[in-house]
Structures are given as structure tokens and as C-alpha cells.
Structure 1
Amino acid sequence: MRNRVVVTGMGVCAPNGVRLQEFAKALGNLESGINFQPQLQELNFSCQIAGKPNIESIQLNSYFTNVQLKGLNSNGLIYGVIAGRDAWTDAGLGAAEVKPDWDSGIIFGTGILGVDKFREAIYRVDEGNVRRLGSTSVVQTMASGISAYLGGMLGCGNQVTTNSSACTTGTEALLMGYERIQAGKATRMLVGSCSDSGPYVWGGFDAMRILPRNYNDNPELASRPMSASASGFVPGSGSGALVLESLESAKNRGAKIYGEVLGGHCNSGGQRGTGSMTAANNTAVVRCILEALKDAEVEPNQVDAINGHLTATSRDAQEIKNWSTALNRSGEDFPHINSFKGMIGHCLAAAGSIECVGALLQLKEQRIYGNVNCEDLHPEIKSMIADSKIPLKTRGHPVKILAKASFGFGDVNACVIFRTYPN
């Protein structure tokens, strides 16, 4: 017998909404969090827009101690702590006071952490002022800094670790936590991911010329998943967090439940065939979806909705084709599908976790959030699925089974299957 796993808490720090209620409202109203970034203009970026959480009104001393706030210069870590602690509170859980909570663990991923702190440290060292680095330089720049911070704040005594798989990171972290609870090795796991913001994170993508250049004066129109006029992804940042818990534990303590995790799968295309460092192997993507359905014991015709990776690049049409192949569904038979990246941009390592939070909100609210900026559907997509399956407005719709997938640099894939609870 495998333990059933449910989601009992969520937190988010997204470009269009910090904290769960604000994020849900923004998604429902199709509000964009993509804005012009003056710093990118000053640094001669071609793409001068991005999705960056607005945390100016957030009281950080309600998340960090005064000691932790001293010298804190890692926005990715800040985003992760806000989302992670909010998820824990949302689940009705408190921090362990005396002994570690042996039943609770953390898997919280990132792509790169504390890049601004690292830059600050480099200057200190080059100036010969190594003693002025401060005592938190290491923990703010090590990849596992986010899980270490959250682990100490909450007193988690089970596995506390960090994963990193580019854009797949957040969805992979969720599946890793799910598997640990399912196997009986933990009762609950805080899972999620975070991503730094700023020019030192986004610069490499601008150099690759895969970001849109013609929307600096119209940032809200720039991110165009599934659109014929899509010209690249808009960089984003932030964090999403979810509390996974065994169904038995959740029921015993009367916790609210956002949805059930039925199963999933992670794989790699090995950068063979159509796969490369920056493009997915299509055979591997199809296989990942099929294996996720198999693990969840769900038939392809049972999927009601898909929250895709769909980044507003030339890969969008191929992703739709892969979904159609895996599910053997097309036209009016294709599930409803959406992408949140039109509103928040591509949040890199945080993308999967933020989007999983949004996907589960759809289950809880029994509605499908609309897509923005894809009124001019890509002709290849238009030939595969009916326009009605790509809603342009948020609509109430029964959703029992939802598939969410992420595909990352390095030709790595993850797909998770959620179900409405109670089923």
C-alpha cells in the first residue's frame, strides 16, 4: 500500500502577486506582473522588462530575525522564505519549539542563489577586505541556503535538502517530496523552489537572444505563449511553496486540502535525437507524460486540464504536439490548456513551483484561468486543437484531473498529476 499524498498548504511570491490570495486574484483577473526594469536599460540589455515580485510592502521582520536581516542580500532566498513560511502557516502548522520535528522535511530547490551577495563578496575579496564579508556570506550563496534557512526556522528534522534542475526544479522538488511521503519516510514535506532576480541572472539569456526585444514600451504584451507573434520568453523570478502531507495525517488533524498528488515522473532526453542543452527530446517528453499517467493510474482520456510549460518560444507548438501525441487527443477532444507565463514571465527555477500553486488553485476553485496575449494562436497549434480549449478568459469549469509539466535546460522533464479532493 502506498500512502496517499495531499496538499495542505501553499505560499507564493510571484511577479503578479505576493501571498496566496493576491496571486489567486491576479490569475483570475489576468493581471500581469511584467514591468519595465530601468536597471536593465542602464546596462544596455536588449530586453528591458521582467517579472519581479514586489515585496516593498512586506514586513521582512515577520519572516526573519534581526540577526538574519543584517547583511541579507539574496532576493531569491527572501522570496523562498516568504513562500515557504506562508505555506507552512497556511497548512496550520507551527515551528518545532524544543526538539526537531522528525516527521517533517524540506525539499526546496533553486537554480542559483544569492548572486548579488556573491558579487558583493567578490568585491570585498578583491579589495582585500575579506574580514568584512560578514558571517552570512556562505549561507546566502550556497545552493542549499534556502532549505537550510527554512529548516532552521521551522525545526524540521526529516530530510532537508535542495535540488536543482533548471526550469524543472520546482516540479521535480514536488515529486521528490511526494515520493518520500508515499514511501512512509516522512509525514509531511515542504516543497518548492525559488529564483533570484536581476541582471546577473537574466544577462545570459539576453546574450542568447531568446528574450523579446520589441516590447520594452509595452511590457504586459511581451510574454505570448502559444501566439503566432511570440518572440521569446520574458525573464521572471520568485518562489512557490507547497506543504505535502499524508492523507491520514491531514484527515487526523482536520487540515484543509487543496488537492491530491496522484503521481508523476521525471526523466531526461539525454540530449540525443531532438534533445539538446536548450531543447527537449520530444520522445522523452511524450514518455515522461505517459509514465506520469501510468504512475498516477490515470488514463489519457481522463485528463481534464493541462498547465503547460509553454514559454512563448518556438517550442510551444512542439509542446502541444507532444501533449497531443501522449494523450492521443486533438481538436475538441483535447483538454483545456493554459500557461501562466503570459502574466508572470518565465520564473526559471521557480517556474514549476509557482505554476503548481496556480494549478492547484484551479482545482480548489473549479475554474480554468485564462491565457493572455494569444489571441493570434500559432497556426500549428490551431491545426491541432480547438480554439475553445485555450480559454482567453477565466471560466468556471469542472476539473477533476489536471496534468502539470516542466521542461528544463539540460533536456530534463517532470510531469505531475493532480486530482481534486474529495474525488
Structure 2
Amino acid sequence: MNQRVVITGLGVVAPNGVGVSQFTDALKNGISGITFHQQLKDLNFSCQIGGIPKVTDELKSKYFSDLQLRGFNSSGILYGCMAGIDAWKDAGFDMNPDSELDFDTGLVFGTGTSGVEKFREAIYKLDDGQVRRLGSTVVLQTMASGISAYLSGMLGLGNQVTTNSSACTTGTEAVLMGYDRITNGKAKRMLVGSCSDHGPYVWGGFDAMRVMTYKHNDNPEKGSRPMSASASGFVPGSGAGALVLESLESAVERGATIYAEVLGGEVNSGGQRQGGTLTAPNPEAVQRCIKNALKSSGVSPNEVDVINGHLTATSKDALEIENWTKALRRKHKDFPLINSTKSLVGHCLAAAGSIECVASIIQLKEQFVVPNINCEDLHDAIKELIAVSAVPIQSMDREIQVVAKASFGFGDVNACVLFKRFIP
């Protein structure tokens, strides 16, 4: 018999809130985390706004020792460790460097590009012939699995420890990888999530592709406009989200607080066929991903109360809505409520899925629907598919039982997970 899987811990480092409490407040009140960055302007970026979490040196010192922070400048690993530690503590566990190795708990924590600033620093030192001055942590800070290496050591996790990387789908995929391990009885708990660095060396390629907005440099909070007729590209973001997944049996046994249940999900690829490319989704694969996620979760399309979409504020938003209507066979007034966390935090790239999963679970736990800010002018192509009322622009209290969260990433890769409200 497969194990039921619940969520017992949350952690988040987002542009509009560091920590679950601050993030929840920002979600409820539609507070944006998008700001102007002079560095981007100085480097001749078209898009000079972005979402960067507000992390002070004082806050860093609560997670890392002075020795650990010496020469440490990988923002993604920093955010990931903070979110992961918070989730671990939120689940009721201690962070003790002398603790026994925990063979019942593993880690799947994803990233896209890790330690870019550190890598740049290393390149300059090498070019100057200073190989012996690179420092002892340059490898850990720049290898893809640096985040899982740091976190697993800080927490003493002895089950599977790995890093996944699937572009914008990374965080949602990590949740499903952890879920699978628990349902198969190979772990009692899995700490899952994803993180992303910030800054010009991560965001520059997207600016060169002209997929980021350049129209709101003077009004940053208005820049991220998913589903809007006046959307002109995404706003880059960064941060991390983390969740402690646990078998229901283990959670009940230790009297843990349960946020929600993971019902199941699906991961697939469009193979860059039938309209799918490196940067665009194959509609048939997206619809199949959603349908199979529902099937594996035992959820009928009519039971979905809220969708937390991928919805990036690009030309593909209307196509995503169309795919949802076809997969659910629900449209116009029958379509469920839908929101895009990206309107508040931007597109956090590899961290997007995990931050948005945390946002989805907070909505279930607190029984409210996050608003889509900057969407007063819903796109005409979307209006033809669903009711305007399905895209709330104000926070609303609402009884929610099931949330569907999906991510669709570069490389034509897809993931969809179903979360359900947990009532003991």
C-alpha cells in the first residue's frame, strides 16, 4: 500500500517576503516585491527591474557562521539554505551539528545556474594567475549540487540527497520526486524545494532574448502583468521555496502540524514536437500532463477549486489558459479561479515552482485566494476562454479544497501537482 504524503513544514525566501509569515501577509495584501536596480541600468539592460529578496547581514548570521560566510557570495545557495532550514524547523526539527545521521529523511533541492557571482570571481582570479587564491569553497559554491551538499550537511540527512534541474519546472518537479520516494516507502520524510541566484549574470541572457519587459522601469511594481492585455514580457526574480514532505503515518505519530496533503502529480516533456520548442510548450504534452496529474491524484476536473499557473506575462499566457480549459474540459463560467504568483514576485526561474507551491499551500491552509495584481485589463484572448471573474484582482476569502499547481519550463518540460486541504 502506498503511503499518503502530507506537508509538515514550509520555508520561503521571496522578493516580497522572507519567511512564511511575511510572505503570507504579502500574498493576502497583494504586495509586490519588484524594485528598480541601478546596476541593471548601468549595464545597459532593457529591463532594469527585478525581484530580489531583502536579506540583511544580520539575517544571514542566523543561518551561517562567520566562517561559513567568509568568501560566500552564491545568492541561490544562501536563499536555498535559509528556506530549507526554516522549513525543517517549521516541521518541528532542530538544526544541531552534533545530531545523529537521519537515514529516514532525504533531500531533493533544485537549481538552475548556481554560484554565478562566485564563478565570475574565480574566472578573474584565474586570468590573473591567482589559482591559489580561489578559496576552499569555490567548488561547492559553483557546482550544481552545491545547494543539496550544503543543506544536507547542515541538517544531517542520510537518505537520498540530490539536486534536480529542469529550468522553470525545477521546484514543482522536486516536490514530485520527493513525493514518489515517500509513497514508495523509501523515505519517511523528504525536504524538497529549489532556489535561484539573482543578478545580471543570470538575467542577461533573457534580456538579450527580449522576453523581459522594458516598459516599467519607472514603475517597477506595475511591471509583472501575467494574463494582462498590456503584458510586455516577464520580470526576473530570485529566491527559494522549501517544503518538508512526510508520510501521513510519520506525521501523525509525532503529532506534527499538517499544512496540506500532496495527492499526486505528473512530470512529462513535449519533446519539442508539435509546436513545442526549446522555449515554447507542446500543447498536447501540457494537456496530457494536467490530465495525468488529475488521474494519479484521484481528482476529477470539477474538484479543482484554484489553479496556480505558470503564467509568465508573455505571449504564451493565453495558450496556457487554453490548455487548462481543454485538459479540465471547463471554460467560461465553469472555469476555476486562477492566479499567478509571478504578478507579485516576478519569474523566479528555477525557484519559481517551489515558491509558487508554497503560495499554493498557504492559500489552502489560510483559505483565501491570492490576487492577480496588474491584471485589470485581462487579455482579450483569455476573455474568450474564461470568465473575467475567474481571474481575481483582489484577495478573497474562499473555501478551497483542491489546488492544482503547474510549471512549464524551457526545454519543453512540464510538471503538475495536486494539493488538498488537510482536515484531521
**TM, length-normalised to structure 1:** 0.99
In structure 2, the residue matched to 1:422 is 423
Per the alignment, residue 257 of structure 2 pairs with 256
Match of 2:180 in 1: 179
Partner of residue 376, structure 1: 377
Question: Which amino acid in 2 is paired with 1:53?
Answer: P
Residue aligning to 2:52: 52
Does residue 71 (structure 1) correspond to residue 71 (structure 2)? The answer is yes
2:333 matches 1:328: no
Q: For the residues of structure 2 that align with 1:256 and 1:334, how far apart are their CA atoms?
A: 32
User: Match of 2:316, as an amino acid?
Assistant: R
Which one-letter code corresponds to 2:53 in the other structure? P
Secondary structure of residue in 2 paired with 1:267:
strand
CA shift, 1:62, in A, is 1.7
Shift of 1:387: 1.1
Which position in structure 2 is the counterpart of 1:236? 237
Distance between the aligned counterparts of 1:185 and 1:286, measured in 2?
Answer: 30
What is aligned with 2:5?
5
Structure 2 unpaired stretches of 5+: none
How far, CA to CA, are the matches of 1:207 and 1:257 in structure 2? 44
2:401 paired with 1:400: yes
Shift of 1:61: 2.0
**Structure 2 counterpart SS, 1:59:** helix
Q: Distance in 1 between matches of 2:314 and 2:271?
A: 22
Q: CA deviation at 1:67?
A: 2.0
Q: For residues 88-121 of structure 1, what are the alpha-carbon distances to aligned partners after superposition, in whole Å with 9 as ceiling and x for unaligned?
A: 0111112463431000110000001100000000
Q: 1:380 to 1:18 in 2, by over 3 A?
A: same
Give me the whole-angstrom Cα distance separating, in 1, the residues matched to 2:150 and 2:66: 14
3-state secondary structure, aligned to 1:264:
strand
Provide the rounded CA distance (Å) in 2 between the counterparts of 1:94 and 1:276.
Answer: 45
In the alignment, what sits opposite 2:280? 279
Letter in 2 for 1:315: K
- Hey, what's the Cα distance between the residues in 2 that align with 1:333 and 1:98? 52
Q: Equivalent residue for 1:164? A: 165
- Distance of aligned partners of 1:58 and 1:400 in 2 relative to their CA distance in 1, 3 Å threshold: farther
The residue that corresponds to 1:136 in the other structure is 137
Structure 1 distance, partners of 2:302, 2:391, is: 18
Mapped to 2, the partners of 1:341 and 1:60 lie a distance apart of 25
Whole-Å separation in 1 of the counterparts to 2:282 and 2:58: 41
Cα deviation, residue 22, structure 1 = 0.2
Match of 1:80 in 2: 80
The count of aligned residue pairs is 423
8 Å contact from structure 2 (residues 266, 416) kept in 1: yes
Distance 1:48 1:64 in 2: 31
1:139-150 paired onto structure 2 within 5 Å: 139-150=140-151
Query: Which string of whole-angstrom CA distances, capped at 9 and with x for unpartnered residues, describes residues 201-250 of structure 1?
Result: 00000000111111100111111000011000000000000000000111
Does 386-395 or 107-116 show the bigger shift?
386-395
Q: Which residue of 2 aligns with 1:215?
A: 216
Counterpart CA distance in 2 for 1:200 and 1:77 is 16
* Percentage of pairs with the same residue: 65
- Does the Cα contact within 8 Å between 2:116 and 2:197 map onto a contact in 1? yes
> Helix, strand or coil: the match of 1:293?
helix
For 2:16, give the aligned amino acid.
N
| Structure 1 residue 388 displacement after superposition | 1.1
Tell me the distance in 2 between the aligned counterparts of 1:108 and 1:355: 15
User: 1:215 is matched by which residue type in structure 2?
Assistant: H
Q: 1:411: Cα distance to partner?
A: 0.1
SS in 2 for 1:306: strand
Provide the rounded CA distance (Å) in 1 between the counterparts of 2:62 and 2:153: 15
Give the C-alpha shift of residue 60 in structure 1.
1.5
Asked if the contact 2:32/2:221 (under 8 Å) is kept, the reply is: yes
SS in 2 for 1:146: helix
- Flag structure 1 segments of 5+ consecutive residues without an equivalent: none
1:241 is aligned with what amino acid? A
Q: Which residue pairs with 2:356 in the alignment?
A: 355
1:16 aligns with 2:39: no
Distance 1:94 1:34 in 2: 33
Match of 2:152 in 1: 151
Aligned partners of 1:60, 1:310: CA distance in 2, in Å? Answer: 32
Question: Where do residues 385-396 of structure 1 align in structure 2 (5 Å cutoff)?
Answer: 385-396=386-397
* 2:110 aligned counterpart, secondary structure: strand
Tell me, in whole angstroms, the C-alpha distance in 1 between the residues paired with 2:83 and 2:30.
Answer: 21
5 Å-filtered alignment, 1:310-325, equals 310-325=311-326
Secondary structure of 2:23's aligned partner: helix
Other structure's SS at 2:8 match:
strand
SS at match of 2:384: helix
- Structure 1 residues 98 and 224 mapped into 2: Cα distance closer, same or farther (>3 Å)? closer
* 3-state SS of paired residue (1:9): strand
Which whole-Å deviations, capped at 9, do the CAs of 1:345-401 have from their partners, x for residues lacking one?
000000000000000000001111111011100001111111111111111111101
Matched, 1:188 2:216: no
SS of corresponding position for 1:148: helix
Q: 1:217 is matched by which residue type in structure 2? A: D
Aligned partners of 2:104 and 2:188 also within 8 Å: yes
SS at match of 2:417: strand
Aligned position for 2:270 = 269
C-alpha distance 243-317 of structure 1, shift in aligned 2 (>3 A): same
1:70-94 Cα distance to aligned partner (Å, 9 max, x none): 1101011111011000000111112
